[in-house]
Amino acid sequence: MKKTLMVVYLSTSGNTKRMADAIAAGADSRGINSEVVSFYDVDLDKLRSADAIAIGSSTFWYKMHDAMEKFLDRLKPLKLEGKVGAAFGSYGWSGEAPVQIAQKMRELGLDVIDPVLRVQWDPEEKDLKECERLGKDIAKALKKEPVPVA
C-alpha cells in the first residue's frame, strides 16, 4: 500500500497554493499518494490517517494567519505523534509563519523536516523546484531513507 501525504494550505494570493502543488508533485514523483487541500476543506479523519502532513500558510503581520493557528489547535486530539511533518509558506515582508507552523507541529508530536521552506512573494521556477525537493524529502522520510540536512 502506498504511503500518503496530505498537503494543507492557507493561501490568499495563490502563492502558497502553488507551493503546495509543487510539494505534492515532488512526493508523487517518488511514489507517494498526495492530496492537496485548503485548510478550510480538510477532512480531519483523512488527515489523521495520512502518513505525512505538510502545512503551509502565508505570513500576516509577522505571524501565521489567525485562522491557521485555530486550525492547528483543532489537531491536538488527533494523536499525530510520529508522523512526518513539513512546514512551508510564502510571505511579503517577514516570513515567520512556516517557523511558527513547524513549532506547533512539533508540539503535536510530528517529526518535522528542517529547514522550513519559505518563499518571498510569487514563487519563481527555482522556488517551485525547492518545493518539489521538499516533497521528495518527505517521500524519503516516509521510506526511511536518509534526508539531506540543509
Q: Which residue has the cell 509558506?
A: 89
pLDDT tens digit sequence for 67-112: 999 999 999 999 999 999 999 999 988 889 999 999 999 999 999 9
- CA of residue 132 relative to chain centroid, distance: 12
Query: Would residue 148 count as lying in a domain?
Result: no
pLDDT tens digit sequence for 119-131: 999 999 999 999 9
Confirm whether pTM is higher than 0.75.
yes
d(CA 42, CA 93): 28
CB 28 within 8 A of CB 138: no
31: nearest Cα among 143, 145, 134, 147: 143
Query: Would residue 149 count as lying in a domain?
Result: no
d(CA 110, CA 58): 21
| Domain around 10 | 4-142
pLDDT for 60: 83
Q: What is the DSSP letter of 86?
A: E
d(CA 38, CA 73): 16
Query: Assign residue 144 a region: left if phi > 0, alpha if psi is -120 to 50, beta otherwise?
Result: left
Query: Would residue 150 count as lying in a domain?
Result: no
d(CA 79, CA 108): 8
Confidence check: pLDDT of 150 > 90: no
Confidence check: pLDDT of 12 > 90: no
Domain total of the chain: 1
pLDDT for 51: 98
pLDDT for 140: 96
CATH of the domain at 64: 3.40.50.360
Cell reading at 10: 492557507
> If pLDDT is split at 50, 70 and 90, which confidence band does 146 have?
confident
Query: Would residue 68 count as lying in a domain?
Result: yes
Q: Taking all residues of the chain, what is their mean pLDDT, rounded to a whole number? A: 94
